[in-house]
Amino acid sequence: MSAINERETAVLGLLFDFSLYGYEIEKIIKERNMRNWTEIGFSSIYYVLKRLEEEDYVRSKNKLVRGRSRVIYSITRTGRRVLKEKINALLSENFKQISPFELGIAYMHLLDPEDAIVCLEKYLFSSQKRLDMLKELLKNSKAELANYRKIALHERPLELVDAEMNWVKRFIAELQSNREFLKGE
């Protein structure tokens, strides 16, 4: 794997075409709904920029922007190379995704069977809310005639949530028909 993590990849990707200051990066992250598909908080943006600068993946310089001094960040040649390596790796391998949901499944036998089923139904409800939000984002992207990448960033998670909801529904049905599943190993 490459030398940068996903947060650093997200920031370098934003800097690939334009030099930006920290608040501009945050603004773009919000506008593009990037927090739906990458974990980067506002508070970590400057930490990430500092680390990238230490590794010579970005350079900074002070610049006057609308009468205020701003630190503007630009990607370096090394940063471009490392970013492309990371993108190549991300698109080439299916990575294990760890979800706290699996931890709940592993120990669901500690709950009363009815409580476990209620929890799974709540999970379906929250999944439906996420699915609805993703459908709306996808609809808006298609209405805007957005590029294929933006559409894919809404379409893929929508498909994954939909598939997971179908699995949870089948699992609930199995549990309801055979509650012995919930009584331990």
15 and 67 part of one domain: yes
72 and 115 part of one domain: no
Please, what is the average pLDDT of the chain?
A: 90
Helix (H, G, I), strand (E, B) or coil at 55: coil
Distance CA 155, CA 152 (A): 5
Provide the domain limits for residue 162: 100-182
Distance CA 128, CA 169 (A): 12
64 and 15 part of one domain: yes
Distance CA 148, CA 141 (A): 9
Final residue before a domain boundary, out of 47, 74, 92? 92
- Does 1 reside within a domain? no
Task: Encode pLDDT of 41-61 as tens digits.
Answer: 888 999 999 999 999 999 999
Alpha helices in the chain (DSSP H): 6-15, 22-31, 42-54, 77-92, 100-106, 113-143, 148-177
26 and 53 part of one domain: yes
**pLDDT (mean) for 155-159:** 93
